[in-house]
Amino acid sequence: MLDADEARRRYVEMLTEKVRQDRYPSVTHMDRIEAALTPETAGAYLEMLMEKIASEKYPSPTMLGRIENVAGQLPRRPRRARQPSEDDDE
């Protein structure tokens, strides 16, 4: 049986594939994807957006803004404590 999380994941994957294939993707599709993103699906979507603009000489400011917004929603890795080195004063 399909649960809500799996349905959302499949929906995001389907729309992401449509956006990937279109040279000028639908704003509505991207808005719907971004509204349905979870921490598990955001990374793949972000990678796809970055791939789309990688070859563009002048990427769309709107697309850059979308990338910035999605990147800002990704979870951060915990910072590792700095290991003292022999050069540090004690």
Tell me the per-residue pLDDT of 19-36, one tens digit each, with 9 for 90 and over: 999 988 999 999 999 999
Reference 29, options 8, 14, 10; nearest CA is 14
Query: Domain segments of the chain: what residues?
Result: 4-73
Q: What is the SS3 assignment for 20?
A: helix
Tell me the pLDDT band of 86, cut-offs 50, 70 and 90. low
4 vs 89, residue with greater confidence: 4
Cα separation, 30 vs 15, in Å, equals: 8
Question: Dihedral, CA atoms, 43, 32, 63, 40, nearest 10 degrees?
Answer: 0
Cα separation, 33 vs 28, in Å, equals: 9
Reference 36, options 58, 68, 57, 7; nearest CA is 7
